[in-house]
Structure 1
Amino acid sequence: MLALLGLLLFLVPAQALTAFPPKFQAGKLSQDVVVRCDTSEQHVSWTLNGDEEPMAELVPEGQKLTILGLDLPATGNYSCWAGPVLLDSTYVVLSNTREEEINVSCQAESYNGSFHCSWPGPASAIFRACLIRSDGAVGPWVPVAGGQGRFNASLADPLFCPFGEELRPLQLHLEGLSDTSYLNLSRHFFLRDIVRPEPPQELMLQQRGEQLQLAWAPPASWPLPKSYFALLYHLQYELHNGTQVEQFVEGAEEAPVPAGAGRVRISCRDPYSPPAWSPWSAWMGLGAPQ
């Protein structure tokens, strides 16, 4: 599924990275890369992953080092020294140019400007994420959690206005790094296109004369007022004989219970956005209406 990423990022390092190094540099496969030592010293020595005689074609020249034809054995931590004194270090990795191989999925529960993204990736890699808002402002890097082959990040645009029209998309920027390779990609989207509400809540039965009425409330995370942020509800009743009855309700938060219903569940969505229904609520047992 991740062809080039599998070739590069899936190579498990001897000591996996746990955080982005202060300095790193990405180069293309088989091309020369110049690493510079940030120092005023004119005469420095170089090591690769602590090895003074690395198995790579290296050409030192004062404060710079040229890596001839970057390949996997030439990736790693390059350090420059003045005798026993460490002056500077740069992590050199291979650049991954196949952005489209990564399937990034983003979802928002509301119009408050916050959302969650996830994508597949190897355990040997680390990621960081930042948000470029619709006004062009760049947010801070946020931590990315990883485990069991997936990475997750939660981001928010603090200036997002739920009542305003989205004229320009948000931009998610991701950087991924292992001890051998680097991935840099961006995804553009409008928040309105990734909204998927949480399930409705507070399902309850109310007696209305001889009729039972089912009532519910919008998801707790859904914005107010209800008149502006309307929801379309999808009710699914299951009769005692196993037959399922569908019902759609808009502009209300209650509905009569069909005769013979044994249990019900409910979902919702924004009627004006793409049809992203919320997950179903848990089944609620009703019993036979009297």
Structure 2
Amino acid sequence: MLLLVGLVLCLASARALTTFPQKLQVGNLDEDVVVTCNTSEQQVTWTLNGELEPMAELVAEGRTLTILGLDLPAAGNYSCWAGSVLLDTTYVVVRSTCKERMNVSCQAESYRGSFRCSWRAPSFSVFRARLTRSNGSFGDWVHVAGRGGGFSASFADPSFCPFAEELHPLQLHLEGLSDNSFLSFTIHFFIRDIVRPDPPQELTVRRRGGRLYLAWAPPASWPLPKSYFALLYRLQYELPDGAQADEYLEGREETSLREGARRVRISCRDPNASPTWSPWSAWRDLETARPRGPAAR
């Protein structure tokens, strides 16, 4: 499932951070930001990114430092010192204001309350995410792995009940960080809208009464009982001329095979909710299952 979210992605950055700083402060572009040193010392000195660099837009007073008109060069790691002793550190970033569209794709393999989301955000080096569960409680922040500008993470709602109607959507809150900018957004969705089953399994071809029959089993990850979590199956045949023909079956796990077909594969989906089909199973060759020669008659 693709969720289109309005995001801030126009601020370029070096990808220096690998995790969220313990103490983070977000300010608006061109607005003043006050950073406070968590100490009992009355007078401290400040460094920005490890360098003692007095600037006209920085005003120090006691345990506070005011950044006048926060901009990208002023973002970074602010540390306060008593002589050579480090007292406190605050990472200051700019809340982004230039918005673009970004696709967030979330997918669940069944109704067990677990799912996986992925997205691309090349301008940001690290993300974290937190799930608001179906019972209203908050999950812990989850560090999101990133590679080549792509991010993905798995989540689970232990309070999710597969037999109950989903009355309220889940909420997934994401925060992204670069060395100088910050974004925050929330996506809302129902599990029923992002379910994509795994392929059916255990495909077997049997000959009975002069005809071939295909049998299969639901995906191992699909919940039980079958009577409650029925599946719609789609069989796709490849014919001798290379054409393909489809057949649809609901709630069944066996069918006689189409005469003359060379091979068959099968997919499935929830007929009552998500319209997304599972990936196809591997093709099953039917030529080798047919009897050959007079002795087989």
Question: Does residue 181 of structure 1 match 2:181?
Answer: yes
Question: Does residue 208 of structure 1 match 2:208?
Answer: yes
Task: Name the SS of the counterpart of 2:192 in structure 1.
Answer: helix
- Give the drift of 1:64: 1.0
Alignment length (residue pairs): 287
Distance 1:225 1:129, change over 3 A: same
Instruction: Return the match for 1:12 from 3, 11, 14.
Output: 14
Q: Take 1:2 and 1:26, find their aligned partners in 2: how far apart are those partners?
A: 21
Task: Name the SS of the counterpart of 1:245 in structure 2.
Answer: strand
Distance 1:98 1:188, change over 3 A: farther
Maintained 8 Å contact 2:5/2:187: no
Q: Which residue of 2 aligns with 1:261?
A: 261
Q: Which residue of 2 aligns with 1:243?
A: 243
Q: Take 2:96 and 2:156, find their aligned partners in 1: how far apart are those partners?
A: 27
- Give the drift of 1:114: 0.2
Q: Structure 1: any 5+ residue segments left out of the alignment?
A: none
Q: Which residue of 1 aligns with 2:143?
A: 143
- Give the drift of 1:2: 10
Q: Which residue of 1 aligns with 2:82?
A: 82
- Give the drift of 1:286: 1.3
Structure 2 matches for 1:52-201, cutoff 5 A?
Answer: 52-53=52-53, 55=55, 57-97=57-97, 101-122=101-122, 124-201=124-201
* CA displacement, residues 193-224 of structure 1 (integer Å, 9 cap, x when unaligned): 11111111111101111010011111110000
Maintained 8 Å contact 1:99/1:185: no
Q: Take 1:218 and 1:196, find their aligned partners in 2: how far apart are those partners?
A: 13
Amino acid at match of 2:10: L
Q: Which residue of 1 aligns with 2:295?
A: none
Maintained 8 Å contact 2:7/2:99: no
Maintained 8 Å contact 2:13/2:123: no
Task: Name the SS of the counterpart of 2:262 in structure 1.
Answer: strand
Q: Which residue of 2 aligns with 1:31?
A: 31
Q: Take 1:143 and 1:198, find their aligned partners in 2: how far apart are those partners?
A: 26
Q: Take 2:222 and 2:97, find their aligned partners in 1: how far apart are those partners?
A: 39
Distance 1:128 1:35, change over 3 A: same
- Give the drift of 1:146: 1.2
Q: Take 2:124 and 2:174, find their aligned partners in 1: how far apart are those partners?
A: 16
Amino acid at match of 1:273: A
Q: Structure 2: any 5+ residue segments left out of the alignment?
A: 292-297
Maintained 8 Å contact 1:123/1:147: no
Distance 1:195 1:209, change over 3 A: same
- Give the drift of 1:102: 2.7
- Give the drift of 1:258: 0.7
Maintained 8 Å contact 1:99/1:183: no
Amino acid at match of 2:41: E
Distance 1:120 1:203, change over 3 A: same
* CA displacement, residues 263-282 of structure 1 (integer Å, 9 cap, x when unaligned): 11111000000311111112
* CA displacement, residues 25-66 of structure 1 (integer Å, 9 cap, x when unaligned): 111111111111111111011110011115561011111111
Distance 1:266 1:57, change over 3 A: same
Q: TM-score, structure 2 length as denominator?
A: 0.92
- Give the drift of 1:169: 0.9
- Give the drift of 1:123: 6.9
RMSD over equivalenced CA pairs, Å: 1.9
Identity %: 65
